[in-house]
Amino acid sequence: MLPTPAFIIEEDKLRKNLELVADVAAATGVEIILALKAFAFWPAFPLMAEYLPGATASSLNEAKLIHKHFDRKPHVYAPAYPPKDFREMAELANHLTFNTLTELERYRPQWEALETNVGLRVNPEYSPVETELYNPSNPHGRLGETLPNLPTRPPKGLKGLHIHTLCESDAAATATLIERTRAQFGHYLEQIEWLNLGGGHLMTREGYDVEGLIKTLKELRARYPHLKVIMEPGSAHVWRTGYLQCTVLDIVNNYGSATLMLDVSFTCHMPDTLEMPYRPMVRGASAEPANGFPYEYRLGGMSCLAGDYLDTYYFRQPARVGDTLVFEDMAHYTTVKSTMFNGVPHPAIVLVDADGEVVAERRFDYADYEARMG
Ligand SMILES: Cc1ncc(COP(=O)(O)O)c(C=O)c1O
């Protein structure tokens, strides 16, 4: 019996996504890796490593996790490197990207001595992402150097460029990103060894123009045959492979508003639903008024935060205490962004195979809460 609440990740769906990603990599010669910031449930790493040549980290913890459980040297990019962590991160990394030229120069003696393969994050000042919280291409922003800051020739020892400005984007956005990158940094591309196109390429979404992406990547490789091209999506690998199941604990009625009190929390376990905000799909319910869905409930979390609820969802039947609710598509970002705010117990994370058998399971208890907070 699966625990509740729990994030359930379905192995067969994960494999299907990974097969598509591996096909794109094989057709184009592009190295496609996993960004841990989107998914870090490491018991699934051996399975993912059957399809992916590696993974990328943005902290020492993630780098160590990749080294230990993905059994590969990680790609590493961090917006800033803490001096106490730098040496270990550089020793672990097979590619290491700096966010600024000043950091690249500050750490030069160390990375030169270690012969680290270093890159620089640049900002091509293009992004299709409209939500400010997820748009890294602001020219006044903090993620990567803009063109006016770069010397005409790459600094000595620089091997690669890294760009990341997409989020849940389509193939046309990848094409535009490459076009803008060439327009701004084409003179660098001739002189370096690798280009990392970042994440946000949601090639596993239904309707994504996979053939269009393959064409764009082939053209890029034909134009710069010397260049190793890397992509590091996170969401694409785990898109629609997992759900969060929970239980109705109580129903609160006030002035005609009924709220289902759930054994999960939006602020602790699904923070994007409040921050972005977005409305997750709830199995068997409608997020909008609809014929045949007459029963209206707000969905309430179990923390003390007043705003820990989602506005009205519509149901076919009246809800009852003890009912199970399923939030769809909760594997990417949600599993890593969830916290233990308020001491609310963390949902278990489970990997099940196509027959519903548990492949790997992690339950959380007080010791985890204590370790996470201390
Ligand atoms: C530098 C970098 N690489 C990769 C990713 C993964 O992006 P996604 O999960 O949208 O594919 C992110 C997401 O924020 C990122 O910041």
How many whole angstroms from its chain centre is CA 71?
A: 20
pLDDT surpassing 70 at residue 373: no
Two tokens at 192? 């370096």
Q: What is the 3-state secondary structure (H, E, C) of the chain?
A: CCCCCEEEEEHHHHHHHHHHHHHHHHHHCCEECEECCCCCCHHHHHHHHCCCCCEEECCHHHHHHHHHHHCCCCEEECCCCCHHHHHHHHHHCCEEEECCHHHHHHCHHHHHHHCCCEEEEECCCCCCCCCHHHCCCCCCCCCCECHHHCCCCCCCCCCEEECCCCCCECHHHHHHHHHHHHHHHHHHHCCCCEEECCCCECCCCCCCCHHHHHHHHHHHHHHCCCCEEEECCCHHHHCCCEEEEEEEEEEEEECCEEEEEECCCHHHHCCHHHHCCCCCCECCCECCCCCCCCEEEEEECCCCCCCCEEEEEEECCCCCCCCEEEEECCCCCHHHHCCCHHHCCCCEEEEECCCCCEEEEECCCHHHHHHHHC
pLDDT surpassing 90 at residue 72: yes
What is residue 103's predicted lDDT score, i.e. its pLDDT? 97
What is residue 336's predicted lDDT score, i.e. its pLDDT? 78
What spacing in Å lies between the alpha carbon of 258 and ligand 1's midpoint? 38
Ligand 1 nearest-atom number relative to CA 162: 1
Best residue among 96, 167, 170, 278 to mutate for probing ligand 1's pocket (most ligand atoms within 8 Å of CB) is 167
Domains of the chain from N-terminus onward: 11-238 (3.20.20.10), 242-373 (2.40.37.10)
Report residue 232's pLDDT band, with 50, 70 and 90 as the boundaries: very high
Does residue 233 line the site of ligand 1, with CB under 6 A? yes
What is residue 333's predicted lDDT score, i.e. its pLDDT? 83
What spacing in Å lies between the alpha carbon of 5 and ligand 1's midpoint? 27
Does residue 119 line the site of ligand 1, with CB under 6 A? no
pLDDT tens string 131-184: 888 899 998 899 999 999 999 999 999 999 999 999 999 999 999 999 999 999
Does residue 173 line the site of ligand 1, with CB under 6 A? no
Closest residue by Cα to residue 299 from 257, 249, 260, 254: 260
CB hemisphere CA count around 115 (13 angstroms): 0
Q: Which single residue is written with the structure tokens 């625990």? A: 3
- Name which residue sits closest to atom 10 of ligand 1, judged by CA: 200
Does residue 144 line the site of ligand 1, with CB under 6 A? no
**Contacts for 115 with CB less than 8 Å, ≥ 6 apart:** none
Ligand 1 nearest-atom number relative to CA 333: 9
What spacing in Å lies between the alpha carbon of 151 and ligand 1's midpoint? 27
Best residue among 76, 134, 232, 336 to mutate for probing ligand 1's pocket (most ligand atoms within 8 Å of CB) is 232
Does residue 200 line the site of ligand 1, with CB under 6 A? yes
Ligand 1 nearest-atom number relative to CA 332: 9
Least confident span in 43-52, 78-87, 252-261, 360-369 = 360-369
pLDDT surpassing 70 at residue 229: yes
Does residue 234 line the site of ligand 1, with CB under 6 A? yes
Q: In the β-sheet with 75-77, what is the strand arrangement from edge to edge?
A: 31-32, 228-231, 194-196, 160-162, 118-121, 95-98, 75-77, 55-57, 34-35
Does residue 235 line the site of ligand 1, with CB under 6 A? yes
Does residue 280 line the site of ligand 1, with CB under 6 A? no
